[in-house]
Amino acid sequence: MPHDAGPVLTTRDLVQALLDSPPPAPRVSEIGRVAEVGDGIAIVTGLARALSDELLEFASGVRGIVFDLEPGRLGVVLLGPSDDLRLGEDVRRTGEVVSVPVGPALLGRVVNALGQPRDEHGPVDAAILHPIEIEAPDILHRSAVMRPLATGLKAIDAAVPVGMGQRELIVGDRQTGKTSIAVDTILNQQGTGVICIYCAIGQRGDAVASVIGALRDGAMMDNSIVIAAGDEDAPGLVYIAPYAAMSMAEYFAAKGRDVLVVMDDLTRHAHAYRELSLLLRRPPGREAFPGDIFYVHARLLERAGQFTGGRGSITVLPVVETQAENLSAYIPTNLISITDGQIYLSPGLVRKNQFPAVDLGVSVSRVGGKAQARAFREVAGNLRVTLSQFEELEGFARFGTRLDQATRARLARGAAVRAALRQPERDPMPATEQLAVLLAAMEGLLDDLDEKQVAPAMNVIRAAIRADDCGLAALLAEDGKLTDETRVRVVDLARQAMATRAGADGANA
């Protein structure tokens, strides 16, 4: 018996059903107009319901963020070139905030502040979007910084250590090696599983290309993300770049990964924010910066930390540039008070060809010492004292004062220790080799060497400790105390290696 398919609706019936159905609810949509256009900003009227930080879309395709809410007008920061805007063109609300793609698809890529690709590897295949601004985790979701993040640089790992989840400021004048320290720290994370994000803020294109080349040469590009907001980009993109970097880092931290974020540099970020604020007629404060510049950086850096609940950590190395060694300038003092310590690079040490030019008298780590291996702590205390005494005596020795034998010995020891802290770029050093070199310098093995002979001697010691670490690797892994026996073994091994090299050089001569 055939199955009854029911009545067949004709076209007339379908049209009548549509006519009889209730009409859709009216949809109210606000359309604004561009009243003024500036360099990176626009003034918009007619959007009375727009919210702060809301994303607007212009008819020309440019997007912008609502910064100022005033009666009858909005101050908008553009995320694209202002040359494309025309007075009177339509502006529509999106009901959204600025978001960026996050996830593993970004690893190995170079993107802009909106997560759009700037390399030649096609679109970014990331389906997840995260807002660039979120509230920082509260104290109940944080734990103490207890794990070291090795930079591979003797002067930092021994005397100014950095821990996972710490915010350590890199500060110094131009051309003192700030970016080099940050890049070497990233290169030293090879094989550790740490995700690295390098955020170039207002940098020249050739400088960013140099960093990308170093990451590729060091086999770290596949485990890194480069965010480039160059000086040729809109100031709005420069402003949101570090926030986008933190959102990308938070995705990996939520998955239990450890993330290192380098912000190079926040001086240019502050300048971009000042430019936007002055164009929007915000009241200027000290050094013409707006009054909320401290909050701009504080809410950004507070998102870093060591987190609980199975989440990982976010370590931040913000960079700030000083002028004429003026650490008391507005932006450097703000960032010093926000962060957990600073690595100060001295132009005086640069003139003495001391690289990295870390001034241990001004540099400090308020947190990382708790995450530092005990063996490093035992060496670092004497290191600071030796260098401080040497620098004081060096000043007196310049006057040609007749020095006794003990003072000359202290000067020789200080010069040897300072030379031992030198390290070439792109040559991060394992912890065992660092300890061996520092112990050899502190025990006087390098005192009688000329300045040019120190680097070859350190290479010999490093090669010897790679062949026989004298138990240093196990000692560091267990965070054990540096015993007298281990110290003697390391020093004897270094002395034998140097003697062997000296004998070989004598035979060749």
Q: Is 479 annotated as a binding residue?
A: no
* Residue 69: partners with Cβ closer than 8 Å, 6 or more residues away: 50, 52, 75
Query: What's the half-sphere exposure (Cβ side, CA atoms, 13 Å) at 410?
Result: 18
Q: Is 450 annotated as a binding residue?
A: no
Residue carrying the six token digits 């809109």: 234
366 flagged as catalytic: yes
Q: Is 179 annotated as a binding residue?
A: yes
Question: Structure tokens of 163?
Answer: 């821990």
Q: Is 255 annotated as a binding residue?
A: no
d(CA 187, CA 214): 8
Given the residues 118, 366, 384, 410, select the one marked as catalytic: 366
Q: Is 339 annotated as a binding residue?
A: no
Q: Is 281 annotated as a binding residue?
A: no
Q: For residues 143 and 308, is the Cβ–Cβ distance under 8 A?
A: yes
HEC-encoded secondary structure of 56-69: EEECCCCEEEEEEE
Q: Is 258 annotated as a binding residue?
A: no
The DSSP string of 263-325 is EE-HHHHHHHHHHHHHHTTPPB-GGG-BTTHHHHHHHHHTT-EEB-TT--EEEEEEEEE-STT
* Helix, strand, coil % over all residues of the chain, rounded to 5: 40, 20, 40
d(CA 305, CA 307): 6
* Residue 152: partners with Cβ closer than 8 Å, 6 or more residues away: 184, 185, 187, 188, 427, 428, 429, 430
Q: For residues 470 and 491, is the Cβ–Cβ distance under 8 A?
A: no
Q: Is 61 annotated as a binding residue?
A: no
- Which residues are annotated as catalytic? 366
Q: Which residues are annotated as a binding site?
A: 172-179
Q: Enumerate the known binding-site residues for ATP.
A: 172-179
